[in-house]
Amino acid sequence: MLFRTLKLIFICLLIALPGWAAEKVIFTMEVPQVVELGEQFRLAFSVNSKGQNLKLPDLSDFDVLMGPSTSQSTSFQIINGVSSQAVSFSYLYVLRAKKEGRFNVGPGTITVDGTEFKSNAQSIEVVKGSAKPSSGGVDEPTSTPGTIPKNDLFVKLILDKRSLFKGEHLTATIKIYSKVNLNGFEDISIPNFEGFWSQDIQLPQQISLQRETFNGEIYNVGTLKKTLLFPQQTGNISIGSVKIDCIVQQRVKKSQSMFDDFFDSFANIKATIVSDPVSVNVSPLTTPPAEFSGAVGKFNISSSITAMNVRENDAITIKLDVTGNGNIKLINPPKISFPADFEVYDPKTNSNFNASEQGLNGEITFEYLFLPRFAGTYTIPAVSFVYFDTDSKKYVTKKTEEYHIKVEKGDGTHAQTVNAVAKEDLKQIGSDIRFIKTNPPLLQPKGYTFFGSFAFYMLYLGGMLTLLTIYLLNQKRIRENANVARLKNKKASKVALKRLKEANGYLRSGSNEKFYESVTRAFWGYLSDKLTIPASELSRDKASDELTRHQVSTKIIERFVEILDTCEFARFAPGGGSAKMYELFEEATEVMSVMEKEIK
């Protein structure tokens, strides 16, 4: 039985081996995209395994001048101690086009280990050749050394759209066209795209020049920059020029020396090229629905919620995920109709997208945090997300699901916040009419003066007594403040309660770590002031001994130590939720109140 199993596995491996080897073979064809009529060019095949029986595609539109010329190359590399070897076999042909036009070169085929593989197909554009002076196969320099003809080197700012809607994207591409020998760039000045929100498309760091045709002539073309532009205003928007300072290698005009026939002389010259400005016509969007959040493109929306059954004051989060293609970075948070009894915080936004010529593709997430303050059953209605579809030129509405939240009543220790009335909701009524006073007025006899009257002397005497009282109380306060330890002992409970009030603030805002830290600091500060012991010398054992010495009950001491342990554990291993924090806060308040009464 075991022998049959091993035999079956071996046969399966033999069957799968050719397919596995086939996946490793890479067979490609390379040919220029554009050539001149009469120009010789190369057709090259490359395969990474030794093959045989190479079959060429149909080349009836070209003259095969030479080939095949075969070569083999081997490369070794060692990465992290692991060595690898790569082998490449090349087959080279030299062709020449017979006529102008665009021709398709089909795939070639080759056989590797009994399996036939096909290369890629490619098209070739053949254009009319430009007239050039002949000088034994060597190009003559320009008639005016140090200058570059305008048609031999220029830059263009190319837009894929000239008319679009506000918020719709277009792609701006900066290309340089050259018939000269470029050595580099000194400075590149790009317009600031005023009136647009822009996002660059990532390109290779090294600029690669490819042969392309423009106005029937062949140029070496390099793409310098690609940028997505999203118009933020309507009307005709103008985009400025691109300015580039290029370094060009140019042949120096020959002298009459016989040695110049064997040696060429070159010089680097600076050439400044400027593109023509372009303009875009941006149309406004049609009147949007009320739920429109600025999205233009194609999108979908989904939602999720962290909990549906909670207690009073427990935090809940609703997350809205918008995915698709368009101005995803510029979408505003959709509006959610929360019940009036919910305390809602500003939404948090996160985005992740990839910029390409098709636009911004990715997702943007909106997180809404809220706290139900009262028990009951609440409904959060479905969220309507509206975007403008650039293909249909209409508004599309997508909706999320509806949520029903059940809020249970707390244990009575939860602090509840009642929303205060906003100032703009207060109105003063009846302040524009002064009604007739019906009460008799308070009149004084003619010639009456307050100075020297009985009321004057009583007021004078009362003022003197008030000043004397303030002086005596101040002297008493100065004597009491002289004893710092006594002052701290007296104010210990007030300071501790103030710190617990601070912890209550952190409790309401959901700052768990700061809450536990405030409770711990309140207890240690209270004992330091009450027992007149520096905080740096306090520890659990010393605090227990001192409380015992001051006749505090053992049960209260144990509850005090338990609260400190709970706070320390929660700071480094948070958990338990807001209900646990409220219980701890009530426990701390009660223990501190009892300690204040028992310490003697």
pLDDT given at position 276: 92
DSSP 148-188: --GGGEEEEEEES-SEEETT--EEEEEEEEESSEEEEEEEE
In sequence order, which residues have a C-beta less than 8 Å from that of residue 199 and are 6 or more positions away? 227, 228, 230, 329, 355, 360
Mean pLDDT of 575-580: 63
Mean pLDDT of 395-413: 86
Please say if the pLDDT value at position 419 is more than 70. no
Please say if the pLDDT value at position 429 is more than 50. no
Tens digit of each residue's pLDDT (9 = 90 or more) over 197-218: 999 998 888 888 888 888 888 8
Q: Where do the domains of the chain lie, and which CATH numbers do they carry?
A: 22-127 (2.60.40.10), 150-283 (2.60.40), 292-408 (2.60.40.740), 484-598 (1.20.120)
Neighbours of 313 (CB within 10 A): 22
pLDDT given at position 577: 59
d(CA 322, CA 316): 20
**Highest mean predicted confidence (pLDDT) among 174-178, 416-420, 441-445:** 174-178
d(CA 588, CA 567): 11
Query: Predicted confidence band at 298 (pLDDT cuts at 50, 70, 90)?
Result: very high
d(CA 347, CA 335): 10
Mean pLDDT of 373-400: 92
What is the CA angle 331-334-339, rounded to 5? 165
- pTM of the entire predicted model: 0.54
On whether the CB atoms of residues 104 and 123 are closer than 8 A, the answer is yes
Query: Predicted confidence band at 512 (pLDDT cuts at 50, 70, 90)?
Result: confident
d(CA 444, CA 253): 117
pLDDT given at position 341: 85
Antiparallel, parallel or unpaired: β 101-105 and 122-127: antiparallel
Query: Predicted confidence band at 137 (pLDDT cuts at 50, 70, 90)?
Result: very low
Choose between 75 and 159: higher pLDDT. 159
pLDDT given at position 196: 92
